[in-house]
Amino acid sequence: MSLCAVKPDEAGAGDSFPVAENLCTIVSNDWVNEEYRLLIVDAPAIALAAKAGQFFHLMCPPDGESGNFLRRPMSIHRIDREQGQLHFLYKVQGSGTRGLATLGQGDTLDALGPVGQGFTLPRGTQHVVMIGRGVGLATLAPLAQEAVAAGAKVTAILSARMASLLMAEDALRSDGAEVVIVTDDVGNSDTTSLEALLRRVHADRPIDFVATCGSKRLTRLLQDFSTEFGIAGQVALEQRMGCALGMCFACVMPFRNTAADGTRTVGYRRVCWDGPVFNLEETVL
């Protein structure tokens, strides 16, 4: 059973889309490395209509004695419409994600969504470069799927503390992305090395869209790079959330607004409802 709601039209808030309380059956929920688990669920059609960058607000079972009253936001890692499945890649951090880790095959996951504004790939994009770190890699993978399907080349730069913590590499390669790995222990994940890498990639084949998630440092780097070369770009932001439906304002953050006459002001927007994906130039870190 799913309870369906429709996002009302709001000036400037994007298109309407259906949001449902989806009762999904767990297919598997296994460790992929020492910190992250991959959760695969059978999902109904409304959930499978999700777009890259949108997320679900997950009801997490209790972790031992303590219940989890609030849902926890989780990006979609993969939408497998053929199998009718959604994949979530999550880091086990606190009470909510520890509760999520207790779910096993055949259990039910209550997933509210899909929620939010996802990535918007400009028409005619030829070369997408995405840089993700940590769990940011989970969020970017569906964008690679969409970009390759739209005929664009995708270069995915995956950053992690060490190679054993990298995720999504195989999925990205099998989706047709060129994968470049940088790690702290090898010493090529600092911003100076990454900026040099971006310049080389751009010189080799001009980049016309950049995307990132999971790191303020990487977001700043891409803001500077995209401004210098006039490249469009977006970032998927993370913020603590309450309702995830635009009603409680727990998730507001400041953003730069530019008026028609070029005047710049700062205003607050809801990460859950107006995002979580925002244009790089609007994002205040």
Interacting residues toward ligand FES by CB under 6 A: 241-244, 246-251, 270, 272-273
3-state secondary structure 193-242: HHHHHHHHHHHHCCCCEEEEECCHHHHHHHHHHHHHHCCEEEEECCCCCC
Q: Cα–Cα distances in Å, from 191 out to 127, 188, 220, 228, 230? A: 21, 9, 9, 16, 19
Q: Cα–Cα distances in Å, from 35 out to 5, 78, 124, 262, 264? A: 34, 19, 38, 45, 41
213 labeled binding residue: no
Q: How far is the CB of 263 from ligand FAD (least distance, A)?
A: 30
**What is the x/- site pattern for ligand FAD, positions 117-146, by CB under 6 A?**
------------------x--xx-------
Which of 17, 43, 79, 96 lies at the binding interface for ligand FAD (CB under 6 A)? 96
95 labeled binding residue: no
User: Is residue 41 close enough to count as binding ligand FAD by CB under 6 A?
Assistant: no
Residue with the CB atom nearest ligand FAD in the bound state: 94
113 labeled binding residue: no
User: Is residue 240 close enough to count as binding ligand FAD by CB under 6 A?
Assistant: yes
User: Is residue 101 close enough to count as binding ligand FAD by CB under 6 A?
Assistant: no
Q: Nearer to ligand FAD by C-beta: 91 or 256?
A: 91
Q: Are 155 and 128 in contact (CB under 8 A)?
A: yes
Q: Nearer to ligand FAD by C-beta: 198 or 271?
A: 271
CA 264 from chain centre, in angstroms, equals: 27
164 labeled binding residue: no
Q: Are 125 and 205 in contact (CB under 8 A)?
A: no
243 labeled binding residue: yes
Count of residues touching ligand FAD (by CB under 6 A) = 21
**Binding site partner of 250, from ligand FAD, ligand FES, none, Cβ cut-off 5-8 A by kind:** ligand FES
Rama region for 199: left / alpha / beta (φ>0; ψ in -120 to 50; rest): alpha
CB atoms within 10 A of CB 270: 23
**Binding site partner of 243, from ligand FES, ligand FAD, none, Cβ cut-off 5-8 A by kind:** ligand FES
Q: Which residues are annotated as a binding site for [2Fe-2S] cluster?
A: 243, 248, 251, 272
